[in-house]
Amino acid sequence: MKTAFITGASSGIGRATAVALAQAGYQLVLTGRRRERLEELARTLHPVPTQLLTFDVRDRAAVDAAVQSLPPAFAEVDVLINNAGNAHGLGPIQRGDPQDWDDMLDSNVKGLLYVSQAVLPSMTRRNAGHIINIGSVAGHEVYANGNVYCASKAAVASLTKGMRLDLLPHHIKVAEVNPGAVQTEFSEVRFKGDMQRAADVYKGFEPLQAVDIAEVIVFMVTRPAHVNVAEVLILAAAQGAATTIRKE
């Protein structure tokens, strides 16, 4: 049975991807900061074999220790889904909060690097593996007040291309999925618990759901060995660009 390692599995796209990959026949390493949510997800997936790791991707030592703690049956990761990340705040750069900047860059960029570096030895040793980084439409077009978040996702796009080149000799596929407007906890985190403001983001149109992204990921990882779906942009039908949305 192949092993999929998913960061940020406790909610949103990560959780939906866990469910979809379990249905596709993978055993799972589920990681996140909220242990109780991971445990609830594992119960939902039973009897699919799961291993739970609780850590913050921003903490390199914690990432390394967690990956090294995996039992042999889960240690050889076939698919890595770098999903953990966040957006904090939405405002002009001159009024930005440096703590928000740190949180986004540490999670979206450095966290991806820490997890990838910890998991890669088993892939390079076997000359096999598949890495999918969750980017964003924001990584391909900057929008007003999105400054640092957009920059962090642009970094994910560049890292994905760099990783694909560096890992090509090891037969490791590297790809990126770039979602548009997906109705998850994303806006609740961005607006720091302002539930009304978060809900307003998705009013007047039908946004993507986490399962839509998960289904694309399953398609990507189940292609034949000679195929790498290297980059996908997935938007709601009502969305023409990052901030251009047709609302009824």
Confidence band, pLDDT 50/70/90 cuts, at residue 36: very high
pLDDT tens readout for residues 221-247: 999 999 999 999 999 999 999 999 999
CATH number at residue 138: 3.40.50.720
Residue 202 known to be catalytic: no
**Catalytically annotated residue among 26, 114, 149, 202:** 149
Residue 191: which pLDDT band, with cuts at 50, 70 and 90? confident
Name the pLDDT band for 59 (thresholds 50, 70, 90): very high
List, in order, residues 6 or more apart from 98 with CB less than 8 Å away: none
Asked if residues 88 and 14 have their Cβ atoms less than 8 Å apart, the reply is: no
Tell me the average pLDDT across 140-157. Answer: 97
- Do residues 11 and 183 make contact, with C-beta atoms less than 8 angstroms apart? no
The reply to whether 26 belongs to the active site is: no
> Residue 168 carries which DSSP code?
G
Q: What is the pLDDT of residues 73-122, one digit of tens each?
A: 999 999 999 999 999 999 999 999 999 999 999 999 999 999 999 999 99
- Out of 26, 114, 153, 202, the active site residue is 153
The number of helix segments (H) and strand segments (E) in the chain equals 10, 9
Q: Contact, 182 vs 138, CB < 8 A?
A: no
Distances (CA, A) of 72 to 68, 69, 121, 246: 10, 9, 14, 50
Instruction: Please tell me the total count of domains within the chain.
Output: 1
Q: What domain range includes position 40?
A: 3-245
